[in-house]
Amino acid sequence: MRQPIPLARPSSPLLTALVGLVPLVLLGSAWLPVGEPMPLPVRLLFTLMAAGLIALFVWLPRRLGYALTDEGLEIRRASGTFVWPYRDLRAGATAHGLGVKQAGVNAPGYYSGAFAWLGEGPNTVLALSSSTRDGVLVTYQGKRYFLTPADSNAFLRELRARGVPDA
């Protein structure tokens, strides 16, 4: 049986709006009749880049997902889906959020990769999250992952019911 886990809402609507303006600026700079017109190939390149960014901003957050299955915690991200067996997991709540991105993807509603960590332990955490705060730390094979279910407490209760100990 597969039980989907809702994701937390993106943590910064203002940042999301600002990042969302980038494709509009590209389109505006290419097609608005201000000053000397750009050559057509440059206009088309800007249009393709804007369309690519819009597609990326829509596609990436939809690719992220968590689910509890009979086998383990299923994580879905843009690069694929994998399942972590419950017996190999440790999980706990955290009051800390993600710091600066060190490597990976940092798009509105989709954070994947290595991020600075201001909490206890090593100074890096791997994110598979929709937000930069209010998450859960899950340890798998010695690596710490920052996940952001919509209801962290309910998520941890479900993991505990499946035998996952506190981190």
What digits encode the pLDDT tens for the residues 29-75? 888 887 788 888 888 998 999 888 887 777 666 778 999 999 999 99
Output 96 or 89, whichever has higher pLDDT.
89
Kindly give, in sequence order, each residue whose CB lies less than 8 Å from that of residue 155, ignoring residues fewer than 6 positions away.
Answer: 5, 66, 136, 147, 149
Q: To the nearest whole number, what is the mean pLDDT of the chain?
A: 87
For position 16, what pLDDT does the model report? 67
CB 155 within 8 A of CB 136: yes
Kindly give, in sequence order, each residue whose CB lies less than 8 Å from that of residue 160, ignoring residues fewer than 6 positions away.
Answer: none
Kindly give, in sequence order, each residue whose CB lies less than 8 Å from that of residue 3, ignoring residues fewer than 6 positions away.
Answer: 67, 68, 69, 158
For position 38, what pLDDT does the model report? 84
d(CA 78, CA 50): 20
CA distances from 25 to 30, 36, 45, 69, 164 (A): 8, 17, 13, 43, 47
For position 108, what pLDDT does the model report? 77
Say if residue 148's pLDDT is above 90.
yes
CB 116 within 8 A of CB 66: no
pLDDT digits 0-9 by tens, 116-131: 988 777 789 999 998 8
Kindly give, in sequence order, each residue whose CB lies less than 8 Å from that of residue 153, ignoring residues fewer than 6 positions away.
Answer: 93
Question: What pLDDT band is residue 8 in, cutting at 50, 70 and 90?
Answer: confident
Say if residue 20's pLDDT is above 80.
no
CB 125 within 8 A of CB 117: yes
